[in-house]
């Protein structure tokens, strides 16, 4: 998952899309993969195409931040990537306040960055 996102970040869309398709096929029942990583990768690929609306649509398929506790295991990185990309998509769409809210939520929501309670 990290490799697919790493390829997507600098814009190697073909390699990222190929890895994402393989991941989707190999891990169809993995909640974290299907609900966090793949939407984040698809959103980053949409941002690479200068399509913030497509990025936000891909993130609509992601687990809402309030439900992260419902996933049995959430690595420290997957929600951070999702939050970062959601913030970037909001910025690209001209939604600065929504981007700021997303970045702030990533700092203060338990389980995201491990800083809950420290940011107050």
**Segment among 7-16, 50-59, 74-83 with least mean pLDDT:** 74-83
Kindly report, residue by residue over 83-100, the tens digit of the pLDDT.
778 888 999 999 999 999
User: Cβ(113)–Cβ(106) under 8 Å?
Assistant: yes
Q: Residue 42 domain-assigned?
A: yes
Q: Residue 87 domain-assigned?
A: yes
Q: Into how many domains does the chain fold?
A: 1
Cα 35 to Cα 63: distance, rounded to the nearest angstrom? 5
Percent of the chain exceeding pLDDT 90 equals 16
Cα 35 to Cα 120: distance, rounded to the nearest angstrom? 29
Q: Residue 65 domain-assigned?
A: yes
Full domain range(s) for residue 67: 2-108
Q: Residue 61 domain-assigned?
A: yes
Q: Residue 66 domain-assigned?
A: yes
Whole-number mean pLDDT of the chain?
Answer: 75
Rounded to two decimals, what is the model's pTM?
0.70
């Amino acid at each position: 998952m990290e490799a697919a996102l790493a390829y997507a970040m600098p814009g190697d869309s073909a390699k990222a899309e190929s890895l994402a398709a393989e991941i989707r096929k190999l891990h169809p029942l993995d909640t974290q993969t299907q609900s966090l990583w793949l939407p984040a990768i698809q959103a980053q690929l949409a941002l690479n195409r200068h399509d913030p609306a497509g990025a936000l649509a891909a993130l609509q398929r992601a687990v809402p931040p309030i439900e992260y506790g419902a996933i049995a295991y959430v690595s420290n990185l997957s929600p951070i990537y999702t939050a970062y990309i959601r913030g970037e998509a909001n910025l690209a769409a001209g939604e600065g306040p929504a981007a700021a809210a997303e970045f702030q939520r990533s700092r203060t929501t338990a389980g995201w960055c491990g800083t809950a309670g420290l940011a107050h």
